[in-house]
């Protein structure tokens, strides 16, 4: 790709966002969040920001990448408490969910890439160290960081042969990689691919920091009383980050097994989407309704119907909020992770596997090495249809030996991959990137 085509891409991206914003909530948020961005940054940072302390800037495309980078930023904050932390997001979903994150001094949107935007943003932030999470490569930002000789690290990078870096027309993308001081990649495959295009001295296999993050969450064991009341002593299937295609694989089993509790956490929670989920599941209740009803609805033995309501006890709980999913999986007997029936592929399987549970998902997993490896070790199970989902659920619930083997495989897989954060922070401290 030449710089001309890159500018065409940026122009088309901005035009497309503007055209769909009146009808698309995310596009509207993308635009509105960037209005007056530099004025807000100027007001928040102020003149006293300049040069008084080290500044760590972490950039994330969205919420998933934030969770990936969070262990690194929190470890650096603990090791260097005088440092200031700035986090940027490209996606509205990431910014909205973490704009009040206590571990950062400031959280901003990243403006759309341009030479002027990059210079002004970096002038205001004045980073000592930049931590770029996984991907979301922007040419002018990376070039400007290189010009200023600001240490810039790629964390938890993943590379595949179908990416532009490895195509004959990918010189612009390869130049973006040259802007990084060091590339921390997840796998040997990624390292070997980079070696083929000349990146050898500044590449390390660190692993994936998400393993450290999910272990941290699991070991904190934050309880959710309303969820515990709903589950009672029943068998529980927790289905996280689901889309309509996923729910259609689950609804018949849930509707015909009222003794099993199902917790459905849709990937999107707009009202229209929640109504679609409600339409599929016969005996359901929303989390907000459950939490509001308190003792009237929830008991230690599960959820009871209201007196004289004529409704059976709900066996399906629909989560209508964001941010609870990683803690929900602790209540699962079996976990189901959505996305595997869509073009983009399965969502984060590690949040479920860390609790030592069998993890079931759809077939689109080839871009997600952790889902592939989890399947290969026996902790993950791929399904292709609703009938297969029902067969897998029934088999796991009736074959104690197979169930236990899958549980152990999941937990061992996650805990066997911990340590990426130590390796990355160790490099930063060894090179004195925050103290030199």
**SS3 sequence of 412-428:** HHHHCCCCHHHHHHHHH
How do strand 182-185 and strand 380-382 relate by DSSP bridges? Answer: unpaired
CA distance 18 to 68: 30
Sorted by where each begins, the domain ranges of the chain are 3-207+419-430, 222-415
User: Tokens in use for 352?
Assistant: 């479920």
Measured over the CA atoms of residue 102, residue 427, residue 203 and residue 372, the dihedral's sign is negative
Q: What is the pLDDT of residue 310?
A: 55
Q: What is the pLDDT of residue 322?
A: 84
User: Tokens in use for 429?
Assistant: 């401290």
Please say whether the structural domain 3-207+419-430 has been given the CATH code 3.40.50.11720: yes
Q: What is the pLDDT of residue 53?
A: 87
Neighbours of 68 (CB within 10 A): 23
346, 352, 349, 347: which is closest to 334 by C-alpha? 352
Q: What is the pLDDT of residue 306?
A: 45
Q: What is the pLDDT of residue 43?
A: 94
CATH number of 222-415: 3.40.50.2000
Measured over the CA atoms of residue 37, residue 43, residue 48 and residue 54, the dihedral's sign is negative
φ and ψ at 266, to 5 degrees? -65, 150
* Crossing angle between the packed helical segments 244-256 and 386-398, to the nearest 10 degrees: 50
Per DSSP, the residues of 38-49 read: HHHHHHHH-GGG
Q: What is the pTM of this model?
A: 0.88
Neighbours of 192 (CB within 10 A): 13
CA distance 96 to 315: 31
Query: Tens-digit pLDDT profile for the chain (436 aa)?
Result: 689 999 999 999 999 999 999 999 899 999 999 999 999 999 999 877 767 789 999 999 999 899 999 999 999 999 999 999 999 999 998 999 999 999 999 999 999 999 999 999 999 999 999 999 999 999 999 999 999 999 999 999 999 999 999 999 999 999 999 999 999 999 999 999 999 999 999 999 999 999 999 999 999 988 999 999 999 999 999 999 999 999 999 999 999 999 999 999 999 999 999 999 999 999 999 999 999 876 444 444 555 554 444 567 899 999 999 889 999 999 999 999 999 999 999 999 999 999 999 999 999 999 899 999 999 999 999 999 999 999 999 999 999 999 999 999 999 999 999 999 999 999 999 999 998 5
DSSP state letter for 340: T
φ and ψ at 96, to 5 degrees? -60, -40
Q: What is the pLDDT of residue 308?
A: 41
Say if 3-207+419-430 and 222-415 have the same CATH topology.
yes
Q: What is the pLDDT of residue 214?
A: 96
User: Tokens in use for 50?
Assistant: 């300049």
CA distance 205 to 129: 20
Exposed/middle/buried for 364, CB within 10 Å: 0-12, 13-18, 19+? Answer: middle
CA distance 30 to 161: 31
Q: What is the pLDDT of residue 303?
A: 52
Q: If DSSP codes are grouped into helix, strand and coil, which group holds residue 335?
A: strand
Q: What is the pLDDT of residue 50?
A: 67
């Amino acid at each position: 790709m030449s710089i001309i085509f890159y500018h065409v891409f940026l122009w088309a991206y901005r035009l497309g966002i503007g055209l769909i914003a009146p009808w698309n909530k995310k596009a509207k948020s993308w635009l509105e969040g960037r209005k007056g961005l530099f004025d807000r940054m100027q007001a928040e940072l102020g003149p006293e920001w300049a040069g008084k302390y080290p500044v760590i800037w972490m950039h994330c495309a969205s919420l998933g990448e934030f969770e990936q980078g969070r262990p690194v930023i929190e470890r650096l904050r603990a090791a260097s408490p005088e440092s200031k932390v700035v986090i940027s997001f490209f996606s509205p979903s990431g910014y909205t969910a973490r704009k009040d994150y206590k571990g950062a001094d400031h959280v901003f949107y990243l403006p759309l890439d341009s030479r002027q935007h990059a210079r002004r943003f970096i002038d205001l932030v004045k980073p000592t160290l930049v931590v770029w999470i996984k991907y979301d490569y922007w040419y002018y930002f990376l070039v400007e960081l290189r010009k200023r000789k600001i240490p810039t690290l790629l964390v938890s990078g993943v590379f595949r042969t179908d990416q532009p870096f490895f195509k004959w027309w990918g010189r612009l993308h390869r130049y973006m990689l040259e802007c990084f001081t060091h590339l921390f990649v997840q796998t040997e495959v990624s390292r070997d691919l980079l070696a083929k295009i000349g990146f050898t001295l500044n590449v390390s296999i660190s692993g994936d920091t998400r393993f450290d993050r999910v272990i941290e969450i699991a070991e904190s064991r934050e309880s959710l009383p309303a969820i515990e009341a709903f589950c009672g002593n029943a068998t529980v299937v927790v289905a996280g980050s689901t889309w309509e295609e996923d729910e259609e694989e689950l609804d018949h089993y849930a509707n015909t097994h009222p003794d099993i509790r199902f917790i459905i956490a849709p990937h999107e929670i707009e009202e229209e989407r929640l109504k679609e989920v409600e339409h599929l599941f016969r005996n359901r209740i929303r989390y907000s309704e459950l939490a509001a009803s308190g003792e009237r609805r929830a008991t230690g033995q599960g959820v009871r119907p209201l007196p004289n309501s004529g409704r059976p006890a709900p066996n399906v709980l629909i989560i209508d909020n964001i941010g609870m999913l990683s803690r929900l999986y602790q209540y699962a007997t079996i976990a189901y992770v959505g996305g595997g029936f869509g073009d983009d592929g399965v969502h984060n399987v590690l949040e479920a596997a860390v609790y030592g549970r069998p993890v079931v998902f759809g077939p689109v997993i080839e871009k997600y090495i952790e889902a592939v490896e989890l399947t290969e070790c026996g902790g993950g199970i791929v399904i292709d249809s609703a009938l297969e989902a029902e067969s897998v659920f029934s088999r796991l619930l009736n074959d104690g030996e197979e169930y236990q083997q899958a549980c152990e495989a999941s937990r061992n897989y996650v805990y066997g991959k911990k340590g990426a954060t130590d390796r990355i922070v160790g490099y930063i401290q060894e090179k004195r990137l925050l103290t030199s």
